[in-house]
Chain A
Amino acid sequence: MATEQPQRLWFAMAVVLALAALAALVDTLMVTATRPQVAANEAARLAKVLRQVLPPGYDNHPERDRILALAPELLGSDSPLPIYRARRGGEPVAAVITVIARQGYVGPIRLLVSVTPDGTVSGVRAVEHQETPGLGDRIDQAKSGWLRRFTGRSLNDPRPEAWAVSRDGGAFDQVAGATITSRAVVNAVRDAIVYFEQHRAEIFGQEATR
């Protein structure tokens, strides 16, 4: 092997490069071919989550009736976040506000908060989080029903100053062992309603963004 010719090395490198190019081509073709399927999967998943938070009876496709909202203070993100509108015969049924709870225990928590036109919450789901398994991850609907306690609440029930976990003197009990997570979620849900109350007209009036 020590006497191997230099051109053999070049040949080996060429073979590996050719194989890498072939592999990249095959993977690229696969990604391209499955792109419509992946887009359909994402839309179906979004529609399913929206169905879980929205009140029944809407007749449009809220996952497509979407606007973007930029409000770093209330919605917790420096980039625009989607708001989905559910309607029945064109009349507003509810708006699903995306809000980021920045002060999660592990990282940001992405929530969907559905609010009916009178400012009442019809459902909340955590769609992205990295909270601790067995503790903070009970904000996940798959793990516990904790988020259900926001359903039917508004800024009148409880009053805005009571939108806090019970440890801080508020009206919502925290997930056991996960006060920081609970506090972040309670604040984010309240801020989503505040945003809704401040922008109600434009939320339902604005043209949908593609």
Chain B
Amino acid sequence: MKTEFPARSPESVATAGSDDIALFGICPLLGAVVSVIAGAGLGVALLVMLCVASGLVAAAHGSLPARARLPATLVLMAALATAIGVLFEAFLFDAWLALGIALPLLATNAAILEHTETSASRVPPRAAVTSALAVGARVVLWMMAVGAARELLGSGALFTGAGSYGERFGAWTVHLLRADKGFALALAPAGGFLVLGLMLGARNAIATRRRRAADDR
């Protein structure tokens, strides 16, 4: 039996864009993005890895046999993810204690793989790093937004864990609501997906409304 898929609706075409690549990268890490700081930390780690991987893939692409390119990219990603974990453990120990279990997941991150495969391998290294920066910046923004929403809903605070990047940042944490009035589901791993889903729904609703308004004119 053959399944007929409906043609893509105008809505899904409207929302397909560079955000979607960023979202590929966010989803596997979403469980650990429980605060703005966690989102920023993981987001920046992903951004750094995306830039280094893209630059190296762009530079090495021409000199690798075609069949070796994909496995070589996977080897590179595994090595980079390990290196990032080691650097966190040595120089950002408190942040590593909070994010450590999520960092190895960068090795199989789909956003990095997708970006190195489809764009970095076709352009010179400098252009590859520039476009990696653009995708990475979106990752950081999405992760911080999801983290902020979960933190506010779950514990009524913002910037918890800032102190793990240096004692002097500890004072950044703000408590807006009483901690025991939190909505615990937001902090559970499933809460990450609920929050992201609601945010995407809101974004799509706004995009649709804008387009309709433009059509009416």
Contact = CB atoms under 8 A, between A and B. Distances in A.
Contacts of B155: 134, 143
A30 B86 contact: yes
B184 A134 contact: yes
Query: For A1, A4, A30, A176, which residue has the most chain B Cβ atoms within 10 angstroms?
Result: A30
A11 B123 CA distance: 25
Interface stretch (A33-41, A51-59, A93-101): A33-41
Contacts of B86: 27, 30-31, 34
Interface in B100-118: none
A16 B71 contact: yes
B90 A20 contact: no
B182 A134 contact: yes
Given A26-B83, A34-B90, A37-B90, A133 B78 contact: no
A172 B78 CA distance: 48
B90 A133 contact: no
A34 B65 contact: no
Contacts of A138: 180
Given A8-B65, A27-B79, A45-B93, A144 B72 contact: no
Interface in A9-45: 9, 11-13, 15-16, 19-20, 23-24, 26-27, 30-31, 34, 37-38, 41-42, 44-45
Contact of A12 (B67, B97, B179, B182): B67
Contacts of A135: 184
Nearest to B34: A133
Contacts of A19: 68, 72, 75-76
A42 B95 CA distance: 13
Given A15-B72, A16-B71, A27 B90 contact: no
A9 B67 CA distance: 7
Interface string A120-142: 00000000000011110010001
Interface string B4-33: 000000000000000000000000000000
Contact of B68 (A16, A23, A24, A41): A16
A44 B67 CA distance: 48
A37 B89 CA distance: 9
Contact of A15 (B65, B87, B160, B183): B65
Contacts of B67: 4, 8-9, 12
Contacts of B76: 19, 23
Interface in A82-111: none
17 contacts: A12-B65, A15-B65, A15-B68, A16-B72, A16-B75, A26-B79, A27-B79, A27-B86, A34-B90, A37-B90, A45-B97, A132-B184, A132-B188, A134-B185, A135-B184, A144-B179, A144-B180
Interface of A: 1, 4, 8-9, 11-13, 15-16, 19-20, 23-24, 26-27, 30-31, 34, 37-38, 41-42, 44-45, 132-135, 138, 142-144, 176
Interface of B: 34, 64-68, 71-72, 75-76, 78-79, 82-83, 86-87, 89-91, 93-94, 97, 154-155, 160, 179-180, 182-185, 187-188
